[in-house]
Amino acid sequence: MSKPSFVYVTYIRTTAEKLWQALVNPEANRQYWFGAHQESDWKKGAPWKIVFADGRIADTGEIVDIDPLRRIVIKWRNEIMPELKAEGYTRCTITLEPQGALVKLTIMHEAEREGRHKMIDAVQSGWPLILASLKSLLETGQALEGTDRLPEE
Amino acid sequence: MDAVFKALADPTRRQLLDNLHARNGQTLGALCEEMNMTRQAVSKHLAILEEANLVVTFRRGREKEHYLNPAPIFEIADRWIDKFERGKLRALTDLKKNLERDEE
């Protein structure tokens, strides 16, 4: 029996260096991550968080493992929605693999236990837009329209 | 993109994707059982889905796990959906889901 998980694999016409910068640089994050950015020293064991443009803390966690230009593993918990926060931590593994002129980017976001997991349901609708926008930013210089801020209610 | 449409044109392969959507990360054995098909037949369909990047696999110990990859479908949808319509479409899908849930 497998744990609830979300996987997204996309191929981006860029270099591992540029993709890595776009992933860890707050200025780059803001352009495609709904105006939010991540804060971390990007070292093993370092705290990690996502901060919305208005200063609210969306998610918190820790860098479980990091291999520059190749892989980041994040222990990840939502902080905004009480029902998601109550579910505890999830684990997100981000992997970069250069393949010729492309870089294969894999996101594996999984629950740490079996059974229905609302946080995994939630990331299913968030990740595709963020990652499609990241791809667009790196390939065309422009993120997808509307992904530089939170969608209006 | 041709590979994606070709892969999606078959009902058995769509069923495989539905099964992975319901339970991600299944082994070939588990999928065969659910589909009530031979390993050979399921492997053949999975290979076409992998070719189209609709299914990706990870090795975990001795097992190979199969995962649904929504990226190709999302990227195709994005090509024809206008930036302004994206939010509205999502709101409509949410509304549809909520209404259908209420009916149950």
Q: Longest C-alpha distance within chain B, in Å?
A: 46
Closest residue to A7, CB basis, from B56, B75, B90: B56
Interface A-B, measured as beta-carbon pairs within 8 A, has a size of 52
Residue B11 CB-density burial (10 A; 0-12 exposed, 13-18 middle, 19+ buried): exposed
The string of pLDDT tens digits covering residues A39-83 is 999 999 999 999 999 999 999 999 999 999 999 999 999 999 999
Give the chain B residue whose CA is nearest to the CA of A145: B83
pLDDT of residue B25: 94
Closest CA to A76 of A115, A55, A50, A105: A50
User: Are β-strands B55-60 and A102-111 bridged in parallel, bridged antiparallel, or unpaired?
Assistant: unpaired
Residue A115 CB-density burial (10 A; 0-12 exposed, 13-18 middle, 19+ buried): exposed
Closest residue to B69, CB basis, from A4, A9, A125: A9
A7 touches chain B (CB under 8 A): yes
Can you tell me the mean pLDDT for A90-94?
A: 97
Strand, coil or helix: A35: coil
What percent of chain A stands above pLDDT 90?
Answer: 85
The predicted complex's ipTM stands at 0.86
Residues of chain B in contact with residue A131, where contact means CB-CB under 8 angstroms, are 71
- State the residue for tokens 């684990």: A91
Closest residue to A132, CB basis, from B23, B69, B75: B75
Asked if A3's CB is within 8 angstroms of B26's CB, the reply is: no
A3 touches chain B (CB under 8 A): yes
Q: How many residues does chain B have?
A: 104
Closest residue to A8, CB basis, from B65, B71, B90: B71
Asked if B70's CB is within 8 angstroms of A8's CB, the reply is: yes
Asked if A7's CB is within 8 angstroms of B53's CB, the reply is: no
A99 touches chain B (CB under 8 A): no
Spell out which chain B residues touch chain A, with contact meaning CB-CB distance below 8 angstroms.
23-26, 53, 56, 58, 65, 67-71, 74-75, 78, 83-84, 86-87, 90
**Tokens in use for A96?**
């970069």
Tell me how crowded residue A89 is: count the other CB atoms within 10 A of its CB.
17
**Distance of alpha carbon B98 from alpha carbon B1, whole angstroms:** 32
Per-residue pLDDT of chain B (104 residues; tens, 9 = 90+): 899 999 999 999 999 999 999 999 999 999 999 999 999 999 999 999 999 999 999 998 899 999 999 999 988 887 777 665 666 667 777 777 777 777 65
What are the structural domains of chain A?
5-140 (3.30.530.20)
